[in-house]
Amino acid sequence: MKRRISLASVSSRLPHAIGGALLLAAGLTAVPAQAGPKLEPSQASLSDIQGCMESNLVDRGALRDLNVTVTDREGGSHGLRMKLYWKPGQKGEPRVQLRLVEPLALNGSSYLLLQSGLQEQVYFHLPSAENALHVTGKNMSEPLWGTDFSYGEIKQVLGLVFTGSTERHGDASINGRKVYVLETTNDPILSGYRKVVSYVDQATCVLLKSEFFVKGEQPLKTLVADPASVLTLDDYSVALNYTMRNHPAGSRTQIEMSDFTLLERLPEWMFDPQRFFDPYE
């Protein structure tokens, strides 16, 4: 059952995956997930599963209510509100912009991710700074914005994998839903993780759970989707709520998504490194 595949091609579609996965939660006409599998599980190869996950992506759109609630290691809680816009470039390359709404001190802070082949360009703008900054070589395993996610983990969640090699293991079941089990091994020094085990819903190709292993057989972090939040619209499926738990720290971060606009026509300057931070709405 184990099949190995290089996932470099998945990495190239990553920003697209971010937008696409979120996009599917348009919610206005969402219906419960389909009962039957999109693929024939016994026949599905790793690339089939990957393709199935990619089929949940939508080309362009906006997510105007992305709520993140962090419960830190001391038990304190704080929230973030963001907006997400995505639109492909002229050659179809993925482009994503993220804007912070809350906390108010950070209102107007913006991120821009431009994918070009295997290369990824990241820009961000702080309200206190005059210009946007271009960031290269950021450590993928460092935590992000006070949450339990690292940049690499966000990519992992939304794009499944970003580097390393993956094998499909024997299928399993989560809350009665049959899942594909994929194990990705990485260079721990570079990525922060020795392996990531992902559980993908066979019915919807939505990621239901990921376990991040650093050392040993106990995961350092676990990402779990709320099964009740998995929605399907037409051929697209998405989980609206995810929770990431950092086990040693005892902290957790919950992501809730709503207020989608699919196939919205976004202005080109929103993805221009010189202007992406200008007010839009």
Partner 1 sequence: MARWLSRRAGLALLCIALVTLAAAMQLYDPQGPGLRVRVDPSVASLVVPDLPARAVQDEIARRFGHAEQVVVIVRADDLYAGETLRTVDALTRALYALPGVADVQSLTTVSVPRRVGDTIAFERVQPPAVSAALRTALQANPLIRDHLVSADGRATAIVVDLETGDEAELRRLGLPGSIVALAARYSTDRHSIHVTGPSVLHAATSAAVIDQLRWIIPAMVLLMAAFLALVFRSVRGVVVPLVTVGVGLVWMFGTFAALDLPLNLITCLVPPLVVTMGLAYCAHVVSEFEALQDIPVAPRERTALLIRSMAVPVALTGLTTVIGLLALGISALPAVRHFAAMSALGVIYAAILALVFVPALLQLTARAGGAAAGQGRAFERLAGIVGRFDTRYRRQILFAAALIMLLGLGAATQIRVGDQFVGVFEPDAQVRVDYEAANAAMRGVTPVQILIEGYAPAVFTQPQNLRALDALEAWLRAQPEVGAVGGLPDQLRVLRQTLLGGDGLALPERRDEIEQLLFFGDSRALRSVVNADRSATVMSLRLTVDDTAGVDALLQRLEPQLQALPEPLVAKVTGDAILVTESVRLVTTDQLQSIVLALLLIYACLVLQFASLRTALLATLPTLLQTVIYFGGLGLSGVTLNATTSLVECLVLGLAVDDTIHYLSRFNSAARHRASESRGAVVALAAVLRPVTLTKAVLAVGFLVLVTGDLHNQVVFGWLAALTLLAAWLVDVFVTPAFMSGVRIVTLWDSLRVDLGDDVQATIPLLAGLSDRQARVFALMANLQTVPAGTRLMSEGESCGDGAPGDPAGDVYVVIDGELRIWVERDGRPVELNTVGRGAVIGEVGYFGQSRMANVDTLSDARLLRFDDADQERVCRQYPRIAARVFLNLNRIQAARRAGGTPLVG
Q: What is the CA radius of gyration of the chain?
A: 18
What is the nearest approach in angstroms of partner 1 to the Cβ of residue 128?
5
| 263 sits near partner 1 (criterion: CB under 8 A) | no
| 109 sits near partner 1 (criterion: CB under 8 A) | yes
Which DSSP helix (H) or strand (E) runs through 212? strand 207-213
Select from 6, 55, 131, 175 the one that contacts partner 1 (CB under 8 A). Answer: 131
d(CA 205, CA 37): 8
Nearer to partner 1, 144 or 174 (CB): 144
| 144 sits near partner 1 (criterion: CB under 8 A) | yes
Contact yes or no for 183/211 (Cβ under 8 A): no
Nearer to partner 1, 8 or 105 (CB): 105
| 197 sits near partner 1 (criterion: CB under 8 A) | no
| 142 sits near partner 1 (criterion: CB under 8 A) | yes
d(CA 196, CA 201): 16
d(CA 13, CA 20): 10
Tokens 């005059």 found at: 130
Contact yes or no for 258/154 (Cβ under 8 A): no
Tokens of 229: 């939040």
| 40 sits near partner 1 (criterion: CB under 8 A) | no
Q: Torsion-angle region of residue 130: left (phi > 0), alpha (psi -120 to 50) or beta?
A: alpha
| 247 sits near partner 1 (criterion: CB under 8 A) | no
| 278 sits near partner 1 (criterion: CB under 8 A) | no
Taking the alpha carbons at both ends of the chain, their separation in whole angstroms is: 50
| 31 sits near partner 1 (criterion: CB under 8 A) | no
| 119 sits near partner 1 (criterion: CB under 8 A) | no
What is the nearest approach in angstroms of partner 1 to the Cβ of residue 39?
37
Residue ranges that bind partner 1, judged by CB under 8 A: 70, 72-74, 76, 78, 103, 105-106, 109, 124, 126-129, 131-139, 142-146, 188-189, 214-216, 248-249
